[in-house]
Structure 1
Amino acid sequence: MEAHEREPIVGRDPELARLFRVMDSETGDPVLLLLGDVGMGKSTLLDRVVRRAEAGGARVLRAEGSEPESTLAFSALHQLLRPVPAEIDGLPERQRAALHGAFGAGPATADGDLMLTGVAVLSLLSALGERGPVLLVLDDAQWFDRASLDVLSFAARRLAGEPVTMLITARVGDRLPGFDRHVPTLTLGPLDDAEAGRLLDLQPHSPTGRTRTQILDQAEGNPLALTELARAAAAPGAAAKPPPAGPLPLTAHLEKIFAARLDDLPAPTARALMLLAAMDTVDSAIATPAAVPDAQDDAWPPAERAGLIRRTGHTLRFSHPLARSAVYHAAPLDARRQAHLALAGLLRDEPDRRAWHLAAAATRPDADVSAELERTADRARRRGGHAAAAQALQRAADLAPRSEDTARLLVEAAAEAALTGDLAWVEELATAVRARTDDASLLAEAAAQVGRLAVLTVRHSVVFPRLMDAAEELAPAQPSTALDVLAGAAVVRYYSGQDAQRHRIEDALRTLREDASPAWLRTWVRTVSDPFDDRAGLLALLPRIAAEAQRRPDRLTTYAVMAWLLDETPRAVRAFDEAFDRWGSRGALPEGLGGAAAWSYVELGRWGRAREACARSSAVGAAAGLEHAVACAAAVDATVLAYQGDPTAARARADEALALIDPLESRSVSVFARRALGAAALAEGAYETAYDQLRTVFTADGAPVHYHASYPALADLAAAAVRAGRHAEADAIVERAAGTLAGNASPRLRALINRARGLLADPEDAEPHFRAALAESVLEHWPFERAQTLLDLAEWLRRRRRITEARVPLTEALETFRRLGARPWIERARAESRAAGLDVTDAAPDALAELSPQQQQIIRLAAHGLTNREIGEKLFLSPRTVSSHLYRSFPKLGVTARAQLRDLIEGPLATADHRD
């Protein structure tokens, strides 16, 4: 056992017990974040947990954050998974290629798909878990590279049900992207006076008297400070010198203690430590640069005896990050520079590490080093390491001799930083561009990068005026870029739903020349800002935009979003399908109005595909730290869950969406979430609750809270109002909407208004409204809404004792609800059918109604021949989770093999989502 492993752990019994419980629990949360200031004992606790786990037969994978490697994309993930190369090779081809590409061991996957890499890691951990428990230890994660954090946080959110535990340590106050929300946290505080005294008593030379009092006072309960101050006090000659005192912070005191030990070290040891400080690790199990002493060299024992380094197997590391910092900063600048140059000379086969060592050695602008960092950034970009690319470009800008190159590199850094979701960083880089150049095109590009990311944040009231100011400033000299920024402002307008913003957009659009290119962006701005202002005129422009999108498939989603906004949902779905088929949905950021794809699938009745789109959007948004994108996806997902008859899950997802946004900042998401909560209440027959939720999507005087998202709620509002006794209030809202939309309402909205009027009308006046709604032939593209209208008409007919007439719409409605898997509406239609004298039997496909929506989705994909791994890749689940759902579903369906699934679901689900 190593010396550091024998150190007692004093005063941490409750924390250690909590860590053990996390390891031992099969039902608790599989992830725990252990926070603490420097020296609080986080790594010591992890070491104890690791030894216990290994003794119990668990597979332990460990990575330690390294400040020198924090700029290298996927370096922490590579360190974590380096012990399992055979298991990586056993992954499906796409996932294996994604990991190899991330590690630089193969070509990067298209667009450096972080989500595919995340699925690969999830599949790998699931496979390891089949052999026994797995413990992942992520120590000093504040120094992990961002790409590794993104992938590991993706996997962490999906470990439920897996025999995998993830323990993470980080310093208090350091942001850990992906792990800073909804992750159980344990914070290590200082030891109390009694515990601190006990720890001092356990030291080889326990201090006494005044020295002891000073140590207790200065250490402030920090275990590392207590032990190191006691060690320093016991050193030869220390009796004549009191412990360090003064205003220095504790970490600075500790650094001084570590640095003082350098004075008595042999010269070869000091040189070796300097190289280790520049490099951070010496590992004799892998290739170590020839000029660096390996772990068995005689240079190291004096440093070990001084408590500066520790040995773990074949690996040498500093005993604490502060020891590394002390060694590095105590050395003269020239010594540090020479160490980095020596390492750079030895790392010619590792160009990224070489480039950063050269950069660390540079003391003045250097075009060659700047160029090497550019190449490093390009490699990181192709692997999906956007943070690493931005860091390399930012440092390349610092070293570029020419000011024009500096500005260009900063703009490129901003473009990469935008893909991390860190708006503050992008704004910092854009400010640096403005300070270094007056080149209009570079300034415009920097503004565009800020806008690109800003539209995806929750800060709409702050972001909108900034974008508009930039667009108005750019308009005279850079009209194309101004239009691009204005397009982002229009998205912010959609999310926020504020009418004052529409007026400012219209004013800015008028100031731009009509020939400002690209022309399709002008149509985008108009459509997103107000799709009902001139719907006919906007529709007339869609064919040209569609033709352009065929030549530019990257514009297909833009065209699809516009089609959805104009209630041309079939066109939207075809374009979304084609876009995903042609170039996937692997972007590092969600698209502006990214929820449009999911909503289109919901409306067209392809609910499985909608949930897949939500899963992807949520995963991408979470990885980038963009809570607004996660909220958008949660609101759509909640709606589908409500329609499918899982109101509890629907409410949880809707509440998640509302918790992530300010309803006054993000009216669109708020309205969508309230609509989902209304649908969940309708599914349960809780009509007063449904009305209360749906009433919130209109203002007190009946105006829509959101100019686009509120209107589709009209019919459900009317349905809830009739049963909740709020008839008159709902009628006023419906009629106000009808008047506002007169002449510009889509056929779909006209149908919804007519359905609402039929529900609210006096019984003798209702039929024409229902018939008018069903006469809108396009309503067949909104099958759920059409089936609801058919059911309403049938109920009205039966109550008028026109039972024979009621049977036709009842039969069609029931068939549609069954095909969609809309369980609550199936039950309503079946009850109404029986009352109408129809012989309604519980057909075998209704067994699917016993499954959760996610289980139905998995069953459907399995019926189409997908393997568990392929299903997991689509739904961002581990193969084990997929297998578990199938295992629980088969008995409910009365099947024993996958081959029986296609016949079982051919009617209800395969038709509904035939392309999935």
Structure 2
Amino acid sequence: MRRLLDEAATSGGALVLHGEPGSGRSTLVDHAHRQATGFTVLAGAGLVEEAGLPYAGLQRLLDPVLDRAAALPAPQARLLRRALAGAGCPTERRLALCLAVLRLLATVARDRPLLCTVDDLDRGDRASAQALTFVARRLGRLPIAVLLTQASAPPAGLPSHRLRPLGERDAAALLADRLPEPPTPSVTAALTLAAGGNPQALVDLAATVTPEQCRGDEPPPGTPPVDGALGRAYRARLDQLPADTRRVVLLAALDEGGDPRTLVRAATAGGMTIAALAPAEVAGLVRVADDRVTFPHPLARAVVVAAAPLADRRAAHLLLAGVLTDGQRLRRALHRSHAVTDPDPALATELVEAVAALVDAEPGPAAEVAPGCDPAVEGVGDGRWAAASAALERAADLTGDPALAVDRRLTAARYAWWAGAVPRARRLLAGLGAGPVPPAVAARADLLSGEVELRCGRVPGAVPTLRAAADALAGGDRPLALAALARAGEAACFAGEQYRYADLARRARPLTRPGDEPATALLTAHLAGVAATLRGDHERAGPALRRVVVLGGRLAGPALTPSALNWAASAGLLVAVDGAAYRLADRAVTLARATGELSALPRALELRAIAEYWLGRHEAAAETSRDGLRLARATGQANWVDVHLGMLAVLAAVRADRDTSLRRVREMRPEPAPGSRPHALAAWALAVLDLVDGRHAEAADRLASLARPGSGRGQVLVQVMATPYLVEAAAHQAHRAAATAALAVFDRWASSTASPTRHALSARCHALLAPRGSAEAEDAFRTALRTHPAEAGPFERARTALLFGRELRRGRRPRDARAHLHDAWGTFTLVGATAWAEQATAELRAAGESVGVPDPAAARLLTGQQLRIARLVAEGATNREVAARMFLSTRTVDHHLRNIFHRLGVRSRTELARALS
């Protein structure tokens, strides 16, 4: 727009802004008016009320300058005045009329540049639109700027710009201007999702948000208000449509997600044709593409339904039910249910049986999706749980037996939770208390409420709720009682209240039976193993947790659930079988995606990211956490939004990516609860950044505060993961005692596992705490380098090499230091860890050697291992020395070197050194 106005003084130009209602077209036109200083401005707008009056829009636009028509040739002036006076224009004279309009605008622009704007061009009369687009294509060097807006596709031959939905950052800026106080990032994400990025929908939502919702204390609204500005805009478009069009649009709105053939049959049965949709498409109320009818925004669908009289809605539901087949049993029953008002036990039973068939069906495109359900996250599952929830809620409304109705409503809430529809699940749970609730149903409701609170609300409050659910379920449903205890344990660990776990494990022991099914045995072993781990009893913890991993791999049939796989994956991480933990978490992710159980995905993705971290796959871990962040935001799991943000901050900090790490920390809710997992992850990330910058005391302070050994408070498990950084920060600081205590905890855990990575990190930590320059330190460093597994990624080994090289250099052994520093520098360069590579460079220079970047052309031709071998050979190392440094056989080095010479086209070590210089 700025370019259009800037260039208007020398050459004419036009721009068409198009986008759905509420996308900001009118706001941008107003902005253009404010920016057009020194311009003559003509402004018009398309009006539906005048759409049937040819040239009405053109008359409103040109009326302020119509007196300048006297300067036109007489025939053109008469033709223009005649058309704008309502006498019309013969078809054969339309070209002459358009040229007269162009000449009039050119006359007006002689004095100073002209800005001509028409908002909602496609809503006014067609004759005016044709004349204005004709003019816009022929401005040439005239000092005229034409700005047009419309909802439909832009006219051919004109520059255009589509106004797309706002991203989260722009949405946050808009909301900050409208809300009573700055929203948390998770609230911003939820409102952006609810608005679909539509600016006007965001403004309408902001008008309904309370301060408690801004802070995240209460869930934000899930949909824009129907009576907001955007809703009124859609209603105005709807009111202008013919009666038959409104009836067909209502059918399309009620048959959400249905087969388009159903819509055609229903319209025909009602005495209409699908062609009646054309005016609605022109009005921007629906979109017809690929034989499907969609709505530009979910609010448009809601407005259509809300605007229809009750009798029309019932008639439309019956039309749709009448054309659905036996293969569409759920949708047919649900449409029939919306056409009745009184309880109907038979119809309620039909809905329940149809839901059972849907739940038992294989996941996939063939699974039936019911109308009126909450949409699933794009690309995940088939929407069955949302469909089942909507149907069971309606079945509960039609059920005469209060106890049975409550049970069905609770199941609807659980399905809504699995579908990621948190507001719906909470609403259904809150509605259970309206009448008497059977004890067994109340216990299952507490279990679900506790899980929702764990993922989305105040975690400490979830522990007593889940514990009470377990106590109530213990007498009648042992597996469910154990699940409640395991979930309570997860909440206790999240909140940093591990001391509660012992009581939970004690409550689980009476529920254990010999010969339990694998899913039940998995839960009892998990509770016992985690409790033993938290009290440092790894001799008992190891066998129990390894049994959980084995049982998780054997799950099948109904016992195979994402939650069970998540518990098995977390057990695998606690006993450091990272490959098995990754496979279990990845299987949980795959299963949750296939079945559409969205509530389990953020936790499964967290576990997979942690496994990838330990396996040295930092980029994969970051990608997994980004996916988890997207899904946690989409499903309203605010606590796991912070978990994934914390994990992303740690991964960025480990790679010394300061900007990304700090940005992720800032995206977290203003003050994660002290002691919580997100709080600990943020502190770990900031501590690593302190360490990168040489602020060792600050880093040690942060990491030492993550947990209080022996108290059961704080994030013991996060501190164990961060112990190598704590030891590095505190090795020669006042916090040496804290580092020694943390390392003792780490050692007890690492020694109980068979993980080479943990053993290598333990050896590195002991080397850092050993007396500087001592044989003990050197032996520990060499043990660490020898123990780092090749399959776990090169990054941690490079960190060990850097620390060892630094220690040797400070011990006045620069020649010995250079080999390890070169190794570290090469690895950091290859993996793109720039800040760590710069530290290795600084250490090499301090050791008396300068470092350059290898020739990119040569480096791109070699694999990572080949480049490391080539660099060592170029520095003068013999094949035997290379083999010793890289823990390879001499024969392997010989083989790699031949391939290196062939790939680079060199014939000697001298030429190789030159190629890499």
> Could you say which residue in structure 2 is the equivalent of 1:484?
483
CA contact (8 A) 2:418 2:598 kept: yes
Matches within 5 A, 1:44-193: 48=120, 133-135=161-163, 168=201, 170=204
What is the deviation of 1:337? 5.5
CA contact (8 A) 1:639 1:676 kept: yes
Q: Provide closer, same or farther for how the CA distance between residues 614 and 438 of structure 1 changes in structure 2, counting only shifts above 3 A.
A: same
Matches within 5 A, 1:700-719: 705-719=714-728
Output one character per residue of 1:763-811: Cα deviation in whole Å (capped at 9) or x when no partner.
Answer: 355x524633653665434753443233222211122222343344334
Output one character per residue of 1:721-772: Cα deviation in whole Å (capped at 9) or x when no partner.
Answer: 46xxx811x112113334556744547667656645544555355x524633
> Could you say which residue in structure 2 is the equivalent of 1:366?
344
> 1:418 corresponds to which letter in structure 2?
W
Q: 2: CA distance between counterparts of 1:677 and 1:483? A: 37
Matches within 5 A, 1:318-397: 328=309, 341=318, 344-345=321-322, 354-371=332-349, 373-374=351-352, 375=354, 379-380=368-369, 383-384=382-383, 386-397=385-396
Equivalent position SS for 2:456: coil
Equivalent position SS for 2:394: helix
> Could you say which residue in structure 1 is the equivalent of 2:680?
671
What is the deviation of 1:682? 3.1
> 2:483 corresponds to which letter in structure 1?
D
Q: Provide closer, same or farther for how the CA distance between residues 61 and 588 of structure 1 changes in structure 2, counting only shifts above 3 A.
A: farther
What is the deviation of 1:488? 0.9
> 2:342 corresponds to which letter in structure 1?
R
Q: 1: CA distance between counterparts of 2:150 and 2:776? A: 68
Q: Provide closer, same or farther for how the CA distance between residues 427 and 166 of structure 1 changes in structure 2, counting only shifts above 3 A.
A: closer
> Could you say which residue in structure 2 is the equivalent of 1:537?
540
Equivalent position SS for 2:576: coil
Q: 2: CA distance between counterparts of 1:770 and 1:438? A: 68
Q: 1: CA distance between counterparts of 2:32 and 2:388? A: 36
CA contact (8 A) 2:763 2:783 kept: no
CA contact (8 A) 2:687 2:700 kept: yes
> Could you say which residue in structure 2 is the equivalent of 1:400?
399
CA contact (8 A) 1:727 1:760 kept: no
> 2:843 corresponds to which letter in structure 1?
E
> Could you say which residue in structure 1 is the equivalent of 2:555?
552
> Could you say which residue in structure 1 is the equivalent of 2:733?
727
What CA RMSD, in Å, does the superposition of the two structures yield over aligned residues? Answer: 6.0
Q: 2: CA distance between counterparts of 1:607 and 1:709? A: 17
Output one character per residue of 1:404-443: Cα deviation in whole Å (capped at 9) or x when no partner.
Answer: 7535533431221112445564355456668889877766
Matches within 5 A, 1:589-628: 589=599, 590=601, 592=603, 594-628=605-639
Q: Please tell me whether residue 289 in structure 1 is matched to residue 267 in structure 2.
A: yes
> 1:359 corresponds to which letter in structure 2?
S
> Could you say which residue in structure 2 is the equivalent of 1:475?
474
What is the deviation of 1:685? 4.2
Q: Provide closer, same or farther for how the CA distance between residues 347 and 773 of structure 1 changes in structure 2, counting only shifts above 3 A.
A: same
Q: 1: CA distance between counterparts of 2:631 and 2:118? A: 30
> Could you say which residue in structure 2 is the equivalent of 1:459?
458
Q: 1: CA distance between counterparts of 2:708 and 2:681? A: 15
Q: Provide closer, same or farther for how the CA distance between residues 840 and 438 of structure 1 changes in structure 2, counting only shifts above 3 A.
A: same
Q: 2: CA distance between counterparts of 1:325 and 1:584? A: 33
> Could you say which residue in structure 2 is the equivalent of 1:775?
783
Equivalent position SS for 2:455: coil
- TM-score, scaled to structure 2: 0.57
Equivalent position SS for 1:365: coil
Q: 628, 636, 653: which is aligned to 2:664?
A: 653
Q: 1: CA distance between counterparts of 2:32 and 2:530? A: 48
CA contact (8 A) 1:561 1:597 kept: no
Q: Please tell me whether residue 563 in structure 1 is matched to residue 576 in structure 2.
A: no
> Could you say which residue in structure 1 is the equivalent of 2:83?
none
> 1:509 corresponds to which letter in structure 2?
A
Q: 2: CA distance between counterparts of 1:452 and 1:702? A: 26
> 2:737 corresponds to which letter in structure 1?
A
CA contact (8 A) 2:403 2:436 kept: yes
What is the deviation of 1:390? 1.3
Q: Provide closer, same or farther for how the CA distance between residues 50 and 609 of structure 1 changes in structure 2, counting only shifts above 3 A.
A: farther
What is the deviation of 1:577? 5.4
> Could you say which residue in structure 1 is the equivalent of 2:816?
805
Q: Provide closer, same or farther for how the CA distance between residues 799 and 414 of structure 1 changes in structure 2, counting only shifts above 3 A.
A: same
Q: Provide closer, same or farther for how the CA distance between residues 474 and 587 of structure 1 changes in structure 2, counting only shifts above 3 A.
A: closer
Question: Which runs of 5 or more structure 1 residues have no equivalent in the other structure?
Answer: 1-11, 26-44, 64-82, 85-130, 139-149, 190-218, 228-250, 259-268, 850-855, 857-902, 905-916
What is the deviation of 1:521? 1.0
Equivalent position SS for 2:673: coil
CA contact (8 A) 1:137 1:168 kept: no
Q: 2: CA distance between counterparts of 1:846 and 1:442? A: 68
CA contact (8 A) 1:734 1:753 kept: no
Equivalent position SS for 1:362: coil
> Could you say which residue in structure 1 is the equivalent of 2:880?
none
CA contact (8 A) 2:248 2:272 kept: no
> Could you say which residue in structure 2 is the equivalent of 1:77?
none
Q: 1: CA distance between counterparts of 2:858 and 2:121? A: 46
Q: Please tell me whether residue 828 in structure 1 is matched to residue 839 in structure 2.
A: yes
What is the deviation of 1:394? 0.7
Q: Provide closer, same or farther for how the CA distance between residues 716 and 340 of structure 1 changes in structure 2, counting only shifts above 3 A.
A: closer
What is the deviation of 1:575? 4.3
Relative contact order, higher structure (CA 8 A, sep 6+): 1
CA contact (8 A) 1:754 1:769 kept: no
> Could you say which residue in structure 2 is the equivalent of 1:32?
none
Q: Percent identity?
A: 24
> 2:507 corresponds to which letter in structure 1?
A
Equivalent position SS for 1:455: helix
CA contact (8 A) 2:730 2:739 kept: no
> Could you say which residue in structure 1 is the equivalent of 2:496?
497
Q: Provide closer, same or farther for how the CA distance between residues 320 and 395 of structure 1 changes in structure 2, counting only shifts above 3 A.
A: closer
> 2:309 corresponds to which letter in structure 1?
Y
What is the deviation of 1:496? 0.9
Name the count of aligned residue pairs. Answer: 650
- TM-score, scaled to structure 1: 0.57
Q: Provide closer, same or farther for how the CA distance between residues 702 and 401 of structure 1 changes in structure 2, counting only shifts above 3 A.
A: closer
What is the deviation of 1:645? 3.5
Q: Provide closer, same or farther for how the CA distance between residues 490 and 619 of structure 1 changes in structure 2, counting only shifts above 3 A.
A: same
Q: Provide closer, same or farther for how the CA distance between residues 598 and 434 of structure 1 changes in structure 2, counting only shifts above 3 A.
A: same
Q: 2: CA distance between counterparts of 1:627 and 1:401? A: 37
Q: 1: CA distance between counterparts of 2:538 and 2:476? A: 31
What is the deviation of 1:610? 0.8
Q: 2: CA distance between counterparts of 1:839 and 1:390? A: 67
Q: 1: CA distance between counterparts of 2:422 and 2:194? A: 27
Output one character per residue of 1:366-386: Cα deviation in whole Å (capped at 9) or x when no partner.
Answer: 245335544377523862264
> 1:366 corresponds to which letter in structure 2?
D
> 1:523 corresponds to which letter in structure 2?
A
Q: Provide closer, same or farther for how the CA distance between residues 807 and 276 of structure 1 changes in structure 2, counting only shifts above 3 A.
A: closer
CA contact (8 A) 1:355 1:369 kept: yes
Q: 1: CA distance between counterparts of 2:23 and 2:633? A: 34
CA contact (8 A) 2:463 2:491 kept: yes
CA contact (8 A) 2:496 2:713 kept: no
What is the deviation of 1:581? 7.4
Q: 1: CA distance between counterparts of 2:306 and 2:639? A: 39
Q: 729, 742, 749: which is aligned to 1:737?
A: 742
What is the deviation of 1:508? 1.8
> 1:491 corresponds to which letter in structure 2?
E
